[in-house]
Chain A
Amino acid sequence: MIKNGLIFLVLVGFTVILSGLLINFHGSEQLNPLAGHYVQNGASEVGAANLVTAVVVTYRGFDTLGEVTILFITAAIVGFFLKARKEDENRERSLRKTSEILSTASTLLVPTIFMLGVYIFMNGHLTPGGGFQGGAVIATGMVMIIMSRPEVKFDHGIIAWIESTSGVGYVIIGVLGIFLAAGFLDNHVLPIGKFGTILSAGVIPLIYVLIGLKVGSELTNIIGSLKETQNEL
């Protein structure tokens, strides 16, 4: 009874705080100065048509590096916690046969999903999308493979290799920025190129390809670890 009362009090208090924010909220008419600078000069300074990408990869590239690191640590901890016990590792599970619809659809759809993922992260500087979204799409393709062929085993070695290579590549590109351009993770390492084409915006496409591969392999790793725990009794 006391416990329910306390929960009720917490919820009411939280609602009061939020409604205070809500009542004083009014949509602004103008961009604030910082956003105005990004919107006005993003195209000429960074060369990316998608200004969100310009903010994510270049203006706040350091944040993104931290974000990729957090995802990496998560994948590592999940892999560590869900490491299959010796006796579970090679246990054969009796599984119901995959339905015809799913197996046929997966052979048709998986290559298409991978292609869509690659398209999304390669065009991250031109269209909505980017490395994280493309990587997540690739991971959904991997989920489809797991669902249609549950007996398939992922080679964690290859996944870890792709992941660490792209992570190191990202940091190397960032460090190159110190020597060849204005600073860490600056995108002027490569020429800016013609605005709106796929080889423009300096190293942004390169960084997003690396992030896409990294996020895709990390999410696949997490899903693979979660799947392997199913071998437990």
Chain B
Amino acid sequence: MTQYLTLEFTAMVTGFALMIIGLWGLLTRKNLIKIVIGFAIFDTGLNISIISMSYLKNRTAPIIDKSIDASNTINLFVDPIPQALVLTSIVIGVGVTALMLAYVLRMFREKKSLDINSYTDLKW
């Protein structure tokens, strides 16, 4: 049991829980803005779980300064690659969210409704 009470495991559970909540919101909400919010929550959960994978016990952020022994960095630092990937992922997430909100505004301009059930053009 104690193997599951670590920091990285807790972060990963939190990330997965946020992903499931976001997917639930995506699938069940009727309001377009709330669907976008569900997507943003999914995105956040994904980022948290990627970061939790890069964590190594008792290590510090990969920034070299005076308090770090520069010759022993391989035993002191966490993995910098997932952090760089999440930086990319956050920026892309912002872009996707802005784009979806722009689509929502555009759709609202056409039909004056935010309810997804009033958009039946692609239903058969």
Contacts and interface: CB of A to CB of B under 8 A. Distances in A.
Interface of A: 7, 10-11, 14-15, 18-19, 21-22, 25-32, 34-36, 38-40, 42-43, 49-52, 54-56, 60, 63-64, 67, 70-71, 73-75, 77-78, 81-82, 126-128, 130, 132, 136, 196, 215, 219, 222, 225-226, 229, 232
Contacts of A28: 56
A52 B20 contact: no
A146 to B, nearest CB: 15
A25 B102 contact: no
Given A128-B61, A226-B101, A40 B81 contact: no
Contacts, number: 137
B91 interface: yes
B12 A35 contact: no
Q: Give the secondary structure class of A's interface.
A: helix
Interface of B: 3, 6, 8-9, 12-13, 16, 19-20, 23-24, 27-28, 53, 55-57, 61-65, 70, 73-74, 77, 79-81, 83-84, 87-88, 90-92, 94-96, 98-99, 101-103, 105-106, 109
Nearest to A82: B102
Contact of A27 (B27, B55, B74): B55
The 5 closest A-B pairs by CB, nearest first: A74-B95, A51-B62, A55-B84, A35-B79, A78-B102
A81 B103 contact: yes
Nearest to A215: B91
Contacts of B16: 18-19, 21-22
Given A35-B79, A35-B81, A52-B83, A27 B57 contact: yes
A67 B16 CA distance: 25
Given A39-B80, A67-B91, A225-B102, A7 B56 contact: no
Nearest to B66: A196
Contact of B63 (A22, A35, A51): A51
20 contacts: A7-B24, A10-B23, A14-B20, A27-B8, A28-B56, A29-B56, A31-B77, A42-B80, A50-B62, A51-B63, A52-B63, A52-B80, A60-B84, A67-B88, A67-B91, A81-B106, A127-B63, A132-B90, A219-B94, A225-B102
Given A22-B13, A22-B16, A82-B106, A63 B88 contact: yes
A29 B6 CA distance: 13
B13 to A, nearest CB: 7
Contacts of B94: 71, 136, 219
Residue in B28, B62, B74 with the greatest tally of chain A CB atoms within 10 Å: B62
